[in-house]
Every structure is written in C-alpha cells, then in structure tokens.
C-alpha cells in the first residue's frame, strides 16, 4: 500500500481521537495526528540517527531520530514504537518512555511520544525509509548541530534538546 493511503487517527488538541483519515488527507488538511520518535543508544552512549530517504514526503534527506513514524488508526504509541524499530532498523528492544510533545509547528502538527532504547544489536536500515544511518558521539552531534542546524529535522531538534535537559 502507498504510504499516503495508510489510515491514521486524527485528534484534537488534547490528543483525543476524533476521526480517521488517510495519511494523505491528514497531511493535506493539516489535521492533528500522532507519531513516535525513538532515540537508540549503544552501550558507549552514542546515539544512532537516520538520514531520511529522498523519497519521503516530509524532510527528505534530513537527519532525524533513530526511528520514527505515524501511529496507525487504532494503534497505541508503544506498539507503534516497537513496530517502527523493527520496520526501520530491524531491531527489537526495551523502550523507555521519555517525553510527550503536544502538536505544534516543530512536530509537523503531530502529538509525539518519544522513547529511548539502549542496545548493541546490529542495525539494518530499511532503504525504503532511510538513505543512511550511523551512531554519533554526543559531542560530535552537538558540534554538527551547531554548524549545520538545517540538516536536522525540527522534531529531532526539539526531542534532542529536551533529552539533554532530561539527562542533566
């Protein structure tokens, strides 16, 4: 099935389901909807980031969270996060809920639940979703974000800035 035909729940400001529509309709009409973002760390503390495939309809070619995706109609956030880990990175793992972000411009009008996963499993990227991916030492990522801010998605910046505050 074409991604634009995926069925999503659209929601209100409080993240309550008010209807269902295809992904294409949700995006075309600017309806609030749901997504997950996962930050995958290895045991050395480096974070895996994906570079979004050029075929993606949002932020093609930008660096983003380790795995991310829309919550399907009737699906809950944790189930979606596990599905996205498997679909995009070919891994499974324990997820720790990290933070919820309300729908806003930076999240592309998505209510976002973000999760953390720590694993040393071999990551196998899905080339339909991701053009490349790699682990970044935190210091290198911080330096690159400062010098090349526009190469990362707005949602990733929001999530990662809050992760850094969370970690202290």
- Please report the domains of the chain, with CATH numbers, ordered by start residue: 3-167 (3.90.79.10)
pLDDT tops 50 at residue 1: no
Q: What is the pTM of this model?
A: 0.94
User: In this predicted model, what pLDDT tens digit does every residue of 55-93 receive, in sequence order?
Assistant: 888 889 999 999 999 999 999 999 999 999 999 999 999
What φ, ψ does residue 135 adopt, rounded to 5°? -85, 135
Query: Can you give the pLDDT at residue 5?
Result: 82
Rounded-to-integer distance, Cα 103 and Cα 43, Å? 32
For 41, the token pair is 């760390």
- Tell which residue, 118, 144, 122, 1, has the closest CA to residue 62: 144
| Distance, CA of 130 to CA of 138 (rounded, Å) | 21
In percent, how much of the chain has pLDDT > 70? Answer: 98
């Amino acid at each position: 099935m074409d991604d634009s035909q995926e069925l999503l729940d659209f929601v209100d400001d409080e993240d309550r389901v008010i209807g269902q529509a295809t992904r294409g309709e949700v995006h075309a009409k600017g309806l609030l909807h749901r997504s997950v973002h996962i930050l995958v760390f290895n045991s050395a503390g480096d974070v895996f980031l994906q570079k979004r495939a050029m075929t993606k309809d949002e932020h093609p070619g930008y660096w983003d969270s380790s795995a991310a995706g829309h919550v399907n109609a009737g699906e809950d956030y944790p189930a979606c996060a596990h599905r996205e880990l498997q679909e995009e990175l070919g891994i499974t793992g324990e997820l720790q809920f990290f933070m919820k972000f309300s729908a806003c411009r930076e999240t592309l009008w998505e209510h976002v639940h973000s999760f953390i996963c720590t694993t040393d499993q071999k990551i196998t990227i899905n080339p339909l979703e991701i053009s490349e991916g790699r682990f970044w030492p935190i210091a290198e990522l911080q330096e690159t974000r400062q010098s090349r801010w526009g190469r990362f998605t707005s949602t990733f910046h929001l999530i990662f800035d809050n992760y850094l505050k969370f970690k202290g």
